[in-house]
């Protein structure tokens, strides 16, 4: 059970218990499917989905044979993940914690970011960048879906690309060339998420 506090003012567990979860997609994210189908996950052995909630990508990574870690503050969401994994006969490590305070024993190859960065209070963003950088081995990849939102406030808090370029600076992250592909969210008023694979230097 989650206690709302300064680090996490939202009672996320309550949101899952109340079924007020408008951020949820009813299947795999189209960017995940695109990345998977073009082999973008081939070099990924160990991957974490921070703030996995009840998203489907954790199970999908496990089905691809990846050592998969799902982390969330919400016991309700993690119980849902466990039930899906059990039903599919698959395994993943499930961590119920403030994941920004966690460190893996061995570095990871991948981080899959979907509506987590936009969910945390913006004052924790630098901490997020530091911790994701520390989780990944050099050459490890952050599969990011940056939520675009012009209105102030949140969650979700907008992750405009100029702010993301500042948060994930070139000295520490290699950005892809060219325009990022937008994926409109099916239920958050069609807000686009911009897909980018950032390589940890
Ligand atoms: C907007 S939801 C997104 C869930 C999921 N990624 C999805 O796409 O459906 C944000 C999730 O992050 C979790 N969360 C928020 N702050 C967290 C933290 N500090 N550590 C771990 N999980 C956190 C919440 O419990 C919630 O499941």
Residue 40 · residue 33 · CB < 8 Å? no
d(CA 91, CA 86): 7
> How many angstroms does the Cα of residue 193 sit away from the middle of ligand 1?
16
CA distances to 26, 71, 102, 188 from 4, in Å: 27, 17, 18, 23
Strands (E), the chain: 46-50, 67-72, 93-96, 108-114, 136-147, 173-174, 181-184, 192-200
70: three-class secondary structure by DSSP:
strand
Overall pTM surpassing 0.85 (yes/no) = yes
Task: Show the ligand 1 pocket: residues with CB < 6 angstroms.
Answer: 8, 12, 23-24, 51-55, 71-74, 77, 98-100, 114-116, 119-120
d(CA 117, CA 123): 11
Q: What pLDDT shows up at residue 112?
A: 98
d(CA 143, CA 163): 17
Model confidence at 2, in pLDDT bands (50, 70, 90)?
very low
**Per-residue pLDDT tens digits for 6-53:** 788 999 999 999 999 999 999 999 999 999 999 999 999 999 999 999
State in Å, rounded, how far the first CA of the chain is from the last one: 37
Which of 121, 131, 105 shows the shortest CA–CA distance to 50? 131
Among protein residues, the one whose CA lies closest to atom 4 of ligand 1: 53
Among protein residues, the one whose CA lies closest to atom 21 of ligand 1: 72
- Pocket perturbation via mutation, ligand 1, pick of 47, 116, 183 by most ligand atoms within 8 A of CB: 116
Can you list the domains of the chain with their CATH numbers? 29-200 (3.40.50.150)
Q: What pLDDT shows up at residue 8?
A: 86
> How many angstroms does the Cα of residue 19 sit away from the middle of ligand 1?
14
Q: What is the mean pLDDT of residues 136-159?
A: 96
């Amino acid at each position: 059970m989650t206690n709302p506090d300064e680090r996490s003012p939202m009672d996320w567990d309550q949101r899952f218990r109340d079924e007020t979860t408008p951020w949820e997609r009813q299947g795999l994210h189209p960017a995940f499917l695109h990345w998977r189908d073009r082999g973008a996950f081939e070099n990924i052995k160990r991957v974490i989905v921070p703030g996995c909630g009840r998203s489907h990508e954790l199970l999908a990574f496990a089905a691809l044979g990846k050592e998969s870690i799902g982390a969330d503050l919400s016991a309700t969401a993690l119980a849902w993940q466990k039930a899906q994994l059990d039903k599919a006969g698959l395994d993943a490590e499930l961590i119920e914690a403030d994941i920004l305070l966690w460190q893996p024993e061995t570095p990871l190859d991948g981080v899959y970011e979907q509506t987590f960065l936009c969910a945390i209070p913006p004052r924790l963003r630098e901490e997020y960048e530091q911790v994701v950088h520390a989780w990944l081995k050099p050459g490890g990849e952050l599969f990011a879906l940056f939520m675009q939102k012009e209105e102030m406030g949140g969650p979700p808090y907008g992750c405009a690309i100029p702010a993301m370029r500042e948060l994930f600076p070139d000295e520490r992250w290699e950005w892809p060339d060219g325009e990022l592909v937008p994926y409109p969210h099916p239920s958050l008023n069609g807000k686009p998420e911009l897909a980018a694979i950032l390589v940890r230097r």
